[in-house]
Structure formats: C-alpha cells, structure tokens
Amino acid sequence: MSDNNNGAGGGFEPKIVGFLCNWCSYAGADKAGGSQKSYPPNVNVVKVMCSGRVDPQFVLKAYSSGADGVLILACHPGDCHYKEGNYRAMQRHRMLLRVLNQHGIESERCRFDYVSAGEGDRFISVLTEMVETVRALGPLSKAIISDNISSNIIEKRS
C-alpha cells in the first residue's frame, strides 16, 4: 500500500490537516462525498464542534507532527451554529499568520476559509487549491519546526 505522503511517482505529496467545524464545513465535506467527485486524498480531517475551538496550538501541533499545511474551515459569516465562533477563528488565524511568518512558515501553509453545509463543490475546490499550493511550496522544513516550534512547549500547556 502506498502512503499518500510519498506518491507513487516519488513526487512530493503534501500532508495537510483540515480542522472542520461540525455544522457547516464537516457537513460540506460530507456533501462533497455525496456528489462522489474525486479530490486529492492529502487532507486529514479533524472534526471540532466549532471553528472557534481551533486553538492556535492545534495548528502548531499539526506542523510539529509532520503536516505541511493546515486548513481551517468555518461556517460563513453570520451562519455560525454558535453565533460567532467563526469570527473568533478568523481573528485568531490572522494573528497566527504573523507568528508563523516570524518563524519562517509561509502564510499559504495555513489557510482559513468558509465552507457551508451545502457547498460540496466549494469544499473540493478549496481543498484542491490548498493541496496544489502546498505542493508548489514543497515540504515544510523540519529545521523550522525543531528550531521554532518545540512540541514540548506545546504539550506542556495542554
């Protein structure tokens, strides 16, 4: 069995962690499933009840565990099941990008976007774009991770 991180051709297959909120984006991913259109298998989904639950630590943890990119998908503005969790997620993402940039991690490796429960096609296009973007960037340097994002520090707090 081939692993999706080492594609059959030996080319770089990005590993991406996708944090999906339970109500819109996860349902959007299910909607994409219902349409049975194929999309790249590089995204590993971690479901949270709300995008507002996505602690910036989760993103750091994903990089330190080997992810090359992180997707955070939320309900569209005004549609959050928990009123405003998606706004919190969006605000945190903006701050997080500054931190990531300072550590040499490109903004493109951490994408925040909105996918509603009905937007199966949008889920596919956001995800496909993300995979292609990260593929073009290449693997996330392990040096950056070990120098800057120590998994010890992250987990001490948990």
Partner 1 sequence: MKIGVYFCNCGSNISDKVDSQQVRQVIEGHGDVAYFKTNDLMCSDDGKQFLSDDLAVEKPDRIVIAACSPREHENTFMRVLTGAGMNPYLMQMVNIREQVAWVTDDVDKASAKAAHFIKGAVKRVGFHKPLEKKSIDMSPDVLIIGAGPAGLKAALTIAETGRKVTLVEKSPAVGGQPVLYEEVFPNLECAPCMLEPILNEILHGEHAENIEILTMSEVVELTGFYGNFIAQIKKTPRYADLHQCIGCGECVSVCPVDVKNEFNNGLDDRKAISLSFAGALPNVPFIDMTACLRAKGEDCRLCEQSCPLGEGIILYDDAEEIVERRMGAVIVAVGASLYDAGLIPKLGIGTVPDVYTSFEFERLLSSTGPTGGQLVTSSGKVPESIALIHCVGSLDSNHKEYCSGVCCQSAFKFNLMVEHKLHDTHIHHLYKELVYPGKEEFFLYKRAKENPNAVFTRYRNIASLEITAAEDKEGGSIIIKNTLYEKAAIKADMVVLCPAMVPAKDTGKLNEVLGTTSDVYGFFEELHGRLDSVRSKVRGIYIAGACQSPMNIAQAMTQGMAAAGYVLNGLVQGKQLEIEPITASVDEERCSGCRICMLLCPYRAISFDAGKKKSMVNEVLCQGCGTCVAACPAGAMNSNHFTNEAIFAEIEGVLA
What's the closest the beta carbon of residue 151 comes to partner 1, in angstroms? 9
Amino acid identity of 69?
G
The window from 37-45, 98-106, 108-116, 133-141 that contacts partner 1 (CB under 8 A) reads 37-45
Amino acid identity of 12?
F
Interacting residues with partner 1 between 96 and 155 (CB under 8 A): 124, 154-155
Contact (Cβ atoms closer than 8 angstroms) between residue 130 and residue 108: no
H or E element that contains 114: strand 110-114
DSSP E strand boundaries for 6-97: 16-21, 43-48, 69-74
Can you tell me which of 56, 121, 133, 148 binds partner 1, judged by CB under 8 A?
Answer: 56
- Report DSSP letters for 81-96, one per residue: TTSSHHHHHHHHHHHH
Site for partner 1 contains 72 (CB under 8 A) = no
Site for partner 1 contains 12 (CB under 8 A) = no
C-beta of 37 vs 142, nearer to partner 1: 37
Q: In angstroms, rounded to a whole number, what is the distance separating the alpha carbons of residues 158 and 146? A: 19
Which residues bind to partner 1, rule: CB under 8 A? 1-4, 8, 15, 17, 26-27, 29-30, 32-34, 36-39, 41, 44-50, 52-58, 61-62, 65-67, 81-85, 88, 92, 124, 154-155, 157-158
